[in-house]
Amino acid sequence: MASEPADHFYLGNADVLANNEKLTDKARQSIYVSRADNTIDAYRSDWKDFCDWCAYHDETAFPASPETIVNYINDLADNAKANTIARRISALTENFAAAGIKDNPCRFPIVKDAVRGIKRMKGTQQHGKAPILFDDIREMLHYLDGDELRQARDKAVLLVGFYGAMRRSEIAGLDVEDLNFNRLGLLITLRKSKTDQFDQGQTVAIPYIEDKDLCAVRALQHWLDLSGITTGPVFRSFTKGHHIRKTRISDKTIALIVKRYVGLMGMDPAEFGAHSLRHGFATSAAMEHVEEREIMRQTRHRSTAVVRKYIDEADRLIDNPILKIARKK
């Protein structure tokens, strides 16, 4: 039978590193911070899923045979995307390596062939959430509901998330101490983000805009003034009695806020999520022919491939030959 997952999850395990006498204290510290906490958490979840599968099928999870890995990912392929399977393999590979297993079962040719075959059968294209464009944001603000506090919070979340091209974890993780208001607008310090694994910090600039109803800086200032929040988490949830909690909002709540208002607009909430704000900013900027480097500066993408995908997406709609045909008299 498979052992308990916690007994054999070695990634980020301080005890394993501490007992390695060949490493200096400085070397240990560099390994401690080599992976972001959210990566470790995701890998831990993947390892637990594998162990649960092994327990159900009366297979040994640690150490596992290559055949067990192959059978697991083929069962997983019934409901998971190819990229999810690839991540599971990465998690298992890294964990077996961290455990010091010499013949890592995930590195056997039979496993690599199985992964390759699944990718060919399922394809690797990911269907992300649909973008929320600038005009969508404008319309969403007409559907703000709840009391004054909730409306102020939701408006600030939507506008800051959109103009800042922010991920949901970045929105939820904002603290008042990360905000620097000045006469031109707002500078936000992201102390930890997906593309800043070494916590060097990234700065997002959001200027004041002429239309006060669509200005993210004013919306955020209004939320802070109305809520009385002066330190700690910027965006917070509410109690059943409509009082503001001391703890920060969850990243899942960010997604629910987006889904709620696109639903009120008459669109399908299943097609949208928190990433729709970030995706929508990039696409909206591309539709206005903003230069690639300027989009990347705001979205903080390191790879041009993703940004060019948004630009191509916009160009296909703006410079579509159908429009030229339709304009002919």
**Quick check: is 120 catalytic?**
no
| Catalytic-role residue among 43, 163, 261, 310 | 310
**Quick check: is 119 catalytic?**
no
As given in the structure block, the two tokens for residue 36 are 């972001």
| Catalytic-role residue among 153, 236, 278, 279 | 278
Q: 248's torsion region: left (phi>0), alpha (psi -120 to 50) or beta?
A: beta
Could you give the count of Cα atoms lying within 13 Å of 303 in the half-sphere of its Cβ? Answer: 6
**Quick check: is 278 catalytic?**
yes
Query: Could you tell me if 157 and 234 are in contact, meaning their C-beta atoms sit under 8 angstroms apart?
Result: no
| Catalytic-role residue among 167, 168, 248, 259 | 167
| Catalytic-role residue among 8, 129, 153, 301 | 301
**Quick check: is 302 catalytic?**
no
Bridge partners, residue 238, by sequence: 244
| Extended strands (E) in 108-258 | 179-182, 185-190, 202-207, 236-238, 244-248
Sequence-separated (6 or more) residues with CB below 8 Å from residue 31 = 17, 23
| Catalytic-role residue among 8, 129, 218, 275 | 275
| Catalytic-role residue among 194, 260, 308, 309 | 194
Q: Report the chain's C-alpha Rg in angstroms.
A: 23
**Quick check: is 275 catalytic?**
yes
Query: Could you write out the DSSP letters of every residue in 58-76?
Result: T---SSPPHHHHHHHHHHH
**Quick check: is 309 catalytic?**
no
> DSSP character for 3?
P
The residues carrying an active-site annotation are 167, 194, 275, 278, 301, 310
